């Protein structure tokens, strides 16, 4: 079946795109390439694994974690002095005290099961004044011990020679990196480290993030040494950093590589940027932005030994130049591309002046592709990646965990989809510590450090558990529940489409023009209106076929191929006065015609009596003014309105929804209580007065987006998720489908709050008996999923009343709400587990997409994936699923959700419509090669039979009269034909 083949394509198969050929500005094609990749299949989560030899790492930096800033002969670094100046409040004097806690750090590294550990050497701990003459044996032994312990647990060290903590003596004596003298001083320091540790180290980083060192250390003054006010100094510093790196690389290449067989590189960090406009000039500005941050150092190393053209053109004489010999010395001095990405630079230490009017974005995958294209496909080792949480966060760090997940899956897609040679990933960082210019205001560690305890106790965070499990699985292997299901729904499954309302034009469009026309035979048969003449109004009674709007809408519904159509009536329009004795008869007749013509098109109407919306109440004005739902008379008025609809439309309608989505969070508990009574009164009225004659079914429809614990393995998050479901769904479902009362958890939670603001009404015995069991099926609307945690992350979105923090998984597709197909299956299972065996209808399920996109690929993906999850619930989980309704029919009534779009007055069929029709025709996703499901053909409605059944005498006379007229017509026709032949 083609539809099922399409499903596999949409659920994650992305075409392999070859990386563009390298060359100057080859990365410029990155933005265009990704704009052409099919969406959303390419954006969907990728279930796959990393190569077996992939390097899983975790990292730290010396000044952030070591502490012991004056212990055992260590000299001062520029950070020791920088943190004691200005208005800074904290220092890294203690940090995480790793100097005294090697055993705790090793235990944490072992628990993570990483293959590599990246750490930096404190230059001033080895050479207190920065030069070999001040050698400190005790400090050196600390690193010998650390490396030995790493080797004992099978973890390879990745050693950074310089991570921003220059010996303070070199800054005071030479002016730090602004002085060319540091090139040879650094070379000598590197020589000592290669000689001392090199036998056990296979990966070396000479200098970490030279952009931050040069731009913010010697330009903005945000980080140590805090130099500023000389706009040209950062470029001289960057010049010297490149020369120092090259000197160390050549030293290793000549003297140590043959024996030690290690690799050396420089860790380069970058943000990502996207064009603010589609013009090519914007793409050039994006390229230039990356050149000023990443290309500043990467192009000399990986391309031609010189700075990017954009930098040279814009900076002119401010940018130092390389001699041919210097270019030759620098070019090619990196054995792999060490890339840093994440919170240090992105959105934190990138100035607006370097964005050149473009928009910063967090996209590791596009950055990896750009690097691969721009620098001739080097092996890329992500040596720093991650995010952060606030400083008051303890062991529950959901935001960090989901950002880690996002970055890692982007690296996986880069390998699998884009052909980028990513060889390793480093989660940053192992421990909470001193976060540079942010001090202790944020935390980035996988392990929580309690800075208030004497031994700075370490505890694994949720992000550590996540990372450890991910490493064990080598990525994200596809589990059985993640695979697409094959199978079909039963023949009587209700396939439907929903709309909030229908277009109503109560003036018949046929026989409505009173003007008189003459037929001009000699002038191409055109009709010409006679001015001043009008025909008398027709005396015929309007027929349902007279309404062009009904015919058009029914035809649009019929073309979808559905068996059911769900729409809402307008209470305030049908009964404007609130009194059913004074209904809008014209509108009632219109709805009657609409439902009748639906039946003639073999489409079953599903009608909602009242649809709750935040924008408008749709209650009759007198009821609205008299207290709305808080008025105890409103439920009685609603029941009377329901009787009117049952009486007038019930012969055509067999599925009724009393209240659609009343469980809105803005509805108060007292209002909700009266809504439940109104529903129950309407259900009881149908059950007693109409069910036997009409044979229909009645229920209410609840909005049911799924709520998932942010940490499914944490009880502390499972309970808040259950609490939210009780308050959002159980609030209305439990009184009707369950115990006849509100959920126990909901009532006990509100009781402990002890606040009149959250008073939950009590059902008396009469109301409990009234409400309980007033259903024939469970109808739900489902659109999306959100995560819930107890850990407060954002005070704006945090629910103080429920003590929960809503959040999303950053790997989810957004439009604008998250697209999470498996959430529908979980919602259906929740209903099944709570109210076992109840028939369930998914009464609305849809996604919002740009109305201008008639090739609505996101909606197509949404349809296949969500319906497939519904199939799993039906076939695998035993959910008594009776029907599925896509939301919505048309953008005209439900903007952005429709299967039909509109351009001016023209209705356009979107691509998703034909895909939905294809699923319906195949009853789901049948196994390829399996015989087609045989369903009895639906009989076309026999209107004559209905007339005979209801009024047999009149029907008989009508049929006889029709036969006589047809016979007379045939006699006249053949008589005239013979007469013409005779002449």
Contact 846, 895 (CB under 8 A): no
Task: Report the interhelical angle of 952-982 vs 943-950 (nearest 10°).
Answer: 140
The answer to whether 150 and 117 are in contact (CB under 8 A) is yes
CA gap 900, 889 in Å, rounded: 6
State the pLDDT at residue 14: 42
Instruction: Output the pLDDT for position 516.
Output: 63
Max Cα–Cα distance, the chain, nearest Å: 131
Among all chains, which residue has been given the structure tokens 């007693």?
Answer: 688
Tell me how far apart the alpha carbons of residues 253 and 17 are, in angstroms, rounded to a whole number: 35
For residue 363, give Cα distances in angstroms to 407, 516, 532, 568.
Answer: 8, 67, 70, 43
**Whole-number Cα distances in Å, 717 to 396, 496, 729, 803:** 10, 36, 18, 11
Cα-Cα-Cα-Cα dihedral of 815, 821, 824, 827, to 10°? -100
At which residue do the structure tokens 């277009």 appear? 503
Q: How many other CB atoms sit within 10 Å of the CB of residue 92?
A: 26
CA distance 568 to 618: 11
pLDDT at 410: 98
Angle of helix 715-725 relative to helix 744-753, nearest 10 degrees, comes to: 100
pLDDT tens, 588-619?
Answer: 999 999 999 999 999 999 999 999 887 666 89
First to last CA, the chain: 62
CB atoms closer than 10 angstroms to residue 628? 13
Q: Range with the lowest mean pLDDT among 222-226, 524-528, 634-638?
A: 524-528
Share of the chain above pLDDT 90, in %: 79
What digits encode the pLDDT tens for the residues 663-709? 999 999 999 999 999 999 999 999 999 999 999 999 999 999 999 99
Residue 983 has pLDDT above 50, yes or no: no
CB 311 within 8 A of CB 321: no
Closest CA to 391 of 341, 333, 450: 450
Q: Residue 963 has what pLDDT?
A: 62
Close Cβ partners of 646 (under 8 Å, ≥ 6 residues apart): 656, 685, 686, 689, 690, 694
Question: In angstroms, rounded to a whole number, what is the distance separating the alpha carbons of residues 161 and 172?
Answer: 20
What does the mean pLDDT of the chain come to? 91
Question: Tokens 């045989």, residue?
Answer: 934
Q: Contact 457/415 with Cβ under 8 angstroms?
A: no
For residues 432 and 461, give the distance between their C-alpha atoms in angstroms, rounded to a whole number: 10
Alpha-carbon distance 860 to 388, whole Å?
35
User: Using the 8-state DSSP alphabet, how is residue 524 labeled?
Assistant: T
Angle, helix 364-374 to helix 398-416, in steps of 10 degrees: 40
Beta pairing partners, 565: 497, 605
pTM listed for this prediction: 0.89
Tokens read off for 589: 């007749």
Is the torsion defined by CA of 897, 903, 904, 905 positive or negative? negative
Q: What is the pLDDT of residue 544?
A: 85
CA distance 393 to 451: 12
- For the beta carbon of residue 751, count every other beta carbon within 10 angstroms: 11
* CA gap 561, 558 in Å, rounded: 5
Q: Answer for the pair 393, 18: CB distance below 8 angstroms, yes or no.
A: no
pLDDT surpassing 80 at residue 347 = no
Give the whole-angstrom CA distance, residue 395 versus residue 447.
8
- The mean pLDDT of 615-632, rounded to a whole number, is 86
What does the alpha-carbon distance between residue 260 and residue 364 come to, in Å, rounded to a whole number? Answer: 32
pLDDT in tens, 269-291: 999 999 998 888 999 999 999 99
Please check whether residue 68 is in contact with residue 100, taking contact to mean a CB–CB distance below 8 angstroms. Answer: yes
Lowest mean pLDDT among 500-514, 715-729, 820-834, 865-879: 500-514
Q: What is the pLDDT of residue 5?
A: 37
């Amino acid at each position: 079946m083609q539809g099922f083949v399409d499903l596999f394509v949409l659920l994650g198969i992305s075409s392999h795109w070859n990386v563009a050929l390298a060359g100057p500005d080859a990365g410029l094609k990155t933005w265009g390439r990704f704009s052409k990749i099919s969406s959303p299949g390419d954006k969907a989560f990728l279930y796959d694994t990393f190569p077996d030899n992939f390097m899983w790492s975790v990292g730290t930096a010396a000044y952030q974690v070591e502490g012991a800033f004056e212990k055992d002969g260590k000299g001062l670094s520029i950070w020791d002095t920088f943190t004691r100046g200005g208005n800074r409040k904290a220092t890294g004097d203690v940090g995480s005290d790793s100097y005294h806690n090697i055993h705790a750090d090793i235990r944490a590294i072992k628990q993570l099961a990483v293959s590599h550990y990246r750490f930096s050497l404190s230059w001033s701990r080895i050479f207190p004044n920065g030069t070999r003459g001040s050698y400190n044996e005790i400090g050196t032994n600390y690193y010998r011990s650390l490396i030995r312990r790493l080797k004992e647990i099978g973890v390879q060290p990745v050693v950074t020679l310089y991570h921003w903590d220059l010996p303070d003596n070199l800054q005071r004596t030479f002016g730090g990196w602004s002085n060319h003298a540091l090139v040879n001083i650094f070379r000598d320091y590197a020589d000592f480290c290669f000689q001392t540790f090199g036998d056990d180290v296979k990966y070396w980083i000479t200098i970490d993030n030279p952009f931050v060192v040069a731009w913010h250390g010697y330009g903005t003054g945000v980080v140590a040494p805090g130099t500023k006010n000389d706009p040209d100094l950062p470029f001289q510093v960057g010049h010297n950093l490149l020369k120092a790196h090259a000197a160390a690389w050549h030293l290793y290449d000549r003297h140590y590589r043959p024996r030690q067989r290690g690799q050396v590189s420089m860790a380069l960090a970058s943000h990502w940027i996207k064009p603010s406009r589609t013009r090519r000039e914007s793409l050039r500005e994006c390229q230039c932005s990356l050149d000023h941050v990443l290309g500043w150092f990467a192009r000399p190393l990986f391309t031609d030994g010189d700075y990017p053209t954009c930098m040279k053109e814009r900076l002119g004489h401010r940018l130092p130049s390389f001699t041919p010999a210097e270019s030759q010395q620098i070019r090619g001095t990196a054995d792999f591309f060490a890339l840093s990405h994440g919170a240090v630079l992105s959105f934190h230490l990138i100035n607006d002046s370097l964005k050149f009017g473009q928009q910063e974005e967090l996209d590791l995958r596009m950055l990896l592709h750009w690097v691969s294209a721009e620098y001739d496909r080097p092996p890329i080792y992500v040596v720093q990646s991650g995010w952060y949480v606030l400083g008051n966060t303890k062991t529950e760090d959901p935001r960090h965990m989901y950002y880690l997940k996002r970055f890692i899956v982007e690296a996986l897609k880069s390998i699998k989809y884009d052909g980028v040679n990513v060889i390793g990933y480093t989660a940053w960082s192992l421990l909470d510590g001193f976060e540079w210019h942010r001090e202790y205001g944020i935390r980035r560690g996988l392990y929580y450090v309690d800075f208030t305890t004497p031994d700075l106790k370490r505890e694994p965070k949720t992000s550590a558990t996540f990372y450890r499990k991910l490493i064990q699985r080598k990525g994200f292997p596809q589990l059985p529940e993640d695979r697409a299901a094959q199978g079909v729904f039963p023949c009587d499954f209700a396939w439907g489409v929903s709309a909030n309302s229908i277009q109503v034009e109560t003036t018949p469009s046929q026989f409505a023009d009173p003007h008189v026309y003459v037929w001009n035979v000699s002038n191409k048969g055109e009709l010409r209106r006679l001015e001043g003449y009008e025909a008398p109004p027709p005396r015929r009674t309007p027929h349902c076929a007279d309404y062009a709007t009904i015919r058009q809408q029914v035809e649009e519904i019929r073309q979808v191929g559905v068996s059911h159509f769900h729409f809402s009536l307008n209470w305030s329009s049908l009964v404007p006065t609130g009194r059913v004795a004074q209904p809008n008869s014209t509108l009632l007749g219109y709805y009657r015609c609409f439902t009748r013509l639906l039946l003639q098109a073999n489409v079953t109407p599903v009608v909602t009596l009242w649809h709750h919306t935040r924008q408008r109440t749709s209650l009759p004005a007198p009821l609205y003014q008299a207290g709305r739902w808080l008025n105890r008379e409103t439920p009685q008025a609603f029941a009377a309105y329901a009787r009117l609809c049952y009486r007038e439309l019930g012969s055509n309608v067999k599925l009724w929804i009393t209240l659609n989505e009343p469980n809105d969070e803005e509805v108060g508990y007292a209002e909700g209580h009266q809504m439940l009574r109104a529903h129950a009164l309407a259900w009881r009225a149908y059950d007693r007065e109409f069910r036997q004659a009409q044979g229909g079914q009645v229920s209410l429809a609840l909005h049911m987006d799924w709520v998932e614990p942010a940490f499914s393995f944490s009880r502390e998050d499972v309970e808040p998720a259950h609490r939210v479901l009780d308050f959002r769904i159980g609030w209305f479902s439990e009184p009707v489908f369950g115990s006849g009362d509100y959920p126990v958890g909901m009532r006990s939670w509100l009781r402990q709050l002890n606040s009149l603001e959250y008073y939950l009404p009590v059902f008396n015995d009469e109301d409990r008996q009234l409400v309980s069991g007033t259903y024939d099926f469970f109808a739900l609307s489902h659109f999306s999923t959100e995560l819930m945690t107890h850990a407060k992350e954002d005070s704006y979105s945090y629910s103080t009343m429920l003590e929960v923090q809503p959040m999303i998984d950053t790997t989810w597709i957004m439009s604008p709400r998250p697209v999470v197909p498996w959430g529908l299956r979980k919602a259906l299972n929740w209903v099944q587990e709570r109210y076992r065996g109840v028939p369930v209808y998914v009464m609305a399920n849809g996604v919002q997409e740009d109305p201008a996109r008639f090739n609505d690929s996101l909606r197509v993906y949404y349809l296949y994936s969500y319906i497939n999850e519904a199939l799993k619930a039906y076939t695998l989980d035993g959910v008594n699923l009776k029907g599925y309704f896509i939301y919505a029919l048309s953008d005209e009534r439900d903007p952005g959700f429709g299967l039909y779009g509109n351009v001016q007055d023209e209705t356009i069929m979107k691509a998703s419509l034909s895909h939905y029709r294809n699923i319906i025709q195949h009853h789901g996703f049948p196994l390829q090669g399996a015989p087609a499901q045989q369903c009895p053909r639906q009989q076309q409605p026999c209107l004559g039979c209905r007339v005979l059944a209801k009024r047999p005498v009149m029907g008989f006379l009508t049929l006889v009269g029709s036969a006589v007229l047809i016979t007379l017509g045939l006699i006249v026709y053949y008589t005239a034909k013979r007469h013409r032949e005779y002449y």
